[in-house]
Amino acid sequence: MLLAIYLGAATLILCKGLFFTINHMGRHTTLRSRLAWLLLTTAALDVVISPAFERTPSPSLGGVALVVALACYVLPQRRPMSFNDRKDAP
């Protein structure tokens, strides 16, 4: 059960990093943010594809809690949309 939760949280981090965050970075994004997301996404990719290479991770309860907490931290948007950010604004 811990392995399923661990892999699920890592998959959420991987999808958020690949499809939303890294692809939407602009040229004014700081190097620190770019490297942080690159490392976070690479680590999540390692966890997700490790069973394909017969390296099944055996996470502890603390490791699972850390990955789940990190997934809960990175998934929601940071700020709510204001009226000026909406596409249908005049």
**pTM for this structure?**
0.74
Cβ distance 59 to 67 under 8 Å? yes
Residue pLDDT tens, the chain, 90 long: 888 999 999 999 999 888 888 778 888 888 898 898 889 899 999 999 998 998 888 888 998 999 999 888 888 766 655 555 556 545
What pLDDT is stored for residue 61 in this prediction? 92
